[in-house]
Amino acid sequence: MVLFAHKIVLLDTATLGGLSRDYWNAEKPRRDKARSFLLRLQDNGVFVTFTLTHVLELLRHANKEVVRDRLGFLRAIPLIAWLRPYERHWFPGGTPDLLRRELHAVVHGSARNWREIVDAVSPELWETGMGSELFAENDEFWSVMKMESERQHENEKHVASVARTDPGDMMNLRVRDVTALPVRPKEERESYLGRFADEMKSQLDRHGDRRLDRPDAVAFAFVSDTSQRVRTIDEMGGSITQRLLEFYNVPDEFVSPEMTLGELGALGVYASQLRILAAGLRPPVPLTMKEIPPDTLPSYVLERELASIQRKAERVSGSDLGDGHIAPLVLYADGVQVDKRTYEALNQMRRKRPELAALMGRFFRSPDYNDVLDSLDR
């Protein structure tokens, strides 16, 4: 489909859920409101835009009839767009596809800065069509996708909650101070890990997702995994600092004595993600942080900065991860609707990182979907 004077706009899933509810409502004024809104979007060339995150969040409602109605509503949207997967299959893509496209622009293209990356990725990022094409009737397929959405939801609650904890305040420990940590005799470690698990469970209760199932089991599993990692690091030999760098696969030049263990862990996460992204390139290329430093990809930087702000909240939610997956698209869309917390975080980021602000498009809050078009014009 050739596009003329169009707008790529991502509505949040709460708005899409509300639209679906009104679209099928027994009360005519509410039906008319939703259907009139869709016509206004069409008349203004607005493509209701989806990522994999949007689709999974819409499918995870506990009521099967609500899910059925949502799919019916999505089929009725005349103009839709979705993030085109890097592998170009037909279903909406997600954050890995966006990051891999940015990485491709650097490795297989000539992009050398954020502006060049965004300019290279933008023309190929969006696929367009009609709702009836993307959300075709296929009960078996949507049933499988609903189960995946529920599995992912549990994982998001777990990840967001664990990321908010720091028993022992270890994440703020600086690399230079690691060597001063006491070496506990093996016979004392089990007792210490028990206290570690109790403190983590307490932090999960205070700060984790309220819907997290079995915080005690989550704490126990995390402590068991941590204990195994400690044993692995112990067995590597050499200085503790060097062992940490080797374990996280972080080159020496990226680490300073003043860096915290939390920052070192974040570099380790990036190193792991970079390997996965590079392996999926066409053609694949083995890459390390030396070739692609952590601030290379603008979407990764924006998502990382947002996650840092989210983790400081008194109470986190699994939905924070979904917000983090969608927020980087402010670099590529004409408008992105966000919730209150994400709106405030993006404004904070825009003030803190002017080089990102220069690339960010419009993001907005709009409690009433009828105000969306006005929000786009402000």
The answer to which of 59-68, 106-115, 183-192 has the lowest mean pLDDT is 183-192
Query: Is 212 inside a domain boundary?
Result: yes
- Which of these ranges, 71-75, 103-107, 174-178, 323-327, has the smallest mean pLDDT? 174-178
Predicted confidence band of residue 170 (pLDDT cuts 50, 70, 90): confident
Same domain, 114 and 216: no
Residue at 291 is within a domain: no
Q: Are residues 261 and 123 in the same domain?
A: no
Q: Does 108 or 228 have the greater pLDDT score?
A: 108
Contact 317, 209 (CB under 8 A): yes
First to last CA, the chain: 28
pLDDT (0 to 100) of residue 183: 65
> Which of 42-56, 117-131, 220-234 is the least confident region?
220-234
The pLDDT confidence band at residue 178, using thresholds 50, 70 and 90, is confident
Three-state DSSP class for residue 89: coil
Cα dist from 39 to 4, 32, 48, 311, 373, whole Å: 17, 10, 12, 39, 12
In a domain, 285, yes or no: no
Q: Are residues 20 and 147 in the same domain?
A: yes
Residue 108 has pLDDT above 90, yes or no: yes
Amino acid making up residue 34: A
Provide the domain limits for residue 119. 7-156+322-377
* CB 284, CB 308: distance < 8 Å: no
CA distance 72 to 75: 5
Specify if 363 maps to a domain.
yes
pLDDT at 3: 44
β-sheet bridge partners, residue 47: 8
- The reply to whether 137 and 231 lie within a common domain is no
Task: Please give the distance of CA 154 from its chain centroid, rounded to a whole number.
Answer: 15
Residues 21 and 137 reside in one and the same domain: yes
CA 6/CA 274 separation, integer angstroms: 34
Q: What is the mean pLDDT of residues 327-340?
A: 97
Evaluate whether 307 touches 316 at the Cβ level (below 8 Å): no
The count of structural domains within the chain is: 2
Same domain, residue pair 86 and 149: yes
CA distances from 151 to 60, 66, 112, 144, 163 (A): 9, 19, 38, 11, 19
* Residue 91 belongs to a domain: yes
Residue 4 in this model has a pLDDT that exceeds 60: no
| pLDDT score of 5 | 64
Q: Is residue 297 part of a domain?
A: no
- Does position 161 have pLDDT exceeding 90, yes or no? yes
Where does the pLDDT of residue 175 fall: very low under 50, low under 70, confident under 90, or very high at 90 and above?
Answer: confident
CA 290/CA 373 separation, integer angstroms: 44
Domain co-membership, 338 together with 272 = no
> How much is the average pLDDT of 99-124?
97
Whether residues 222 and 100 fall in one domain? no
pTM over 0.85, yes/no: yes
The CA-atom distances, in angstroms, between 176 and each of 240, 247, 259, 294 are 10, 17, 8, 22
Residues 147 and 15 in one domain: yes
Alpha-carbon distance of 247 to 224, in angstroms, equals 17
pLDDT of residue 229: 82
The answer to the question of residue 309 being in a domain is no
What pLDDT is attached to residue 230?
A: 74
Q: What are the tokens at 356?
A: 């990102």
Are residues 147 and 163 both part of a single domain? no
Spatial separation of the C-alpha atoms in residues 16 and 80, rounded to whole Å: 13
The secondary structure of the chain in percent helix, strand, coil, rounded to multiples of 5, reads 60, 5, 30
Q: Are residues 227 and 351 in the same domain?
A: no
Distances in Å between the Cα of 260 and the Cα atoms of 6, 175, 267, 339 are: 46, 6, 11, 31
On the question of pLDDT at 184 being above 70, the answer is no
Q: Is the pLDDT of residue 192 over 80?
A: no
CA 37 and chain centroid, separation:
29
Q: Are 37 and 111 members of one domain? A: yes
Q: What is the dihedral of CA 331, 333, 337, 343, to 10 degrees?
A: 20
Rounded percentage of the chain residues whose pLDDT exceeds 90? 80
Last residue of a domain, one of 214, 244, 279: 279
Has residue 286 been placed in a domain? no
Helices assigned H by DSSP within 126-185: 131-134, 139-163
Non-local CB neighbours of 236 within 8 Å, separated by 6+ positions: 243, 246, 247
Residue type at position 83: L
- Distance CA(203)–CA(186), nearest Å, equals 26
Q: Residue 166: name the closest of 207, 105, 133, 135 by CA.
A: 207
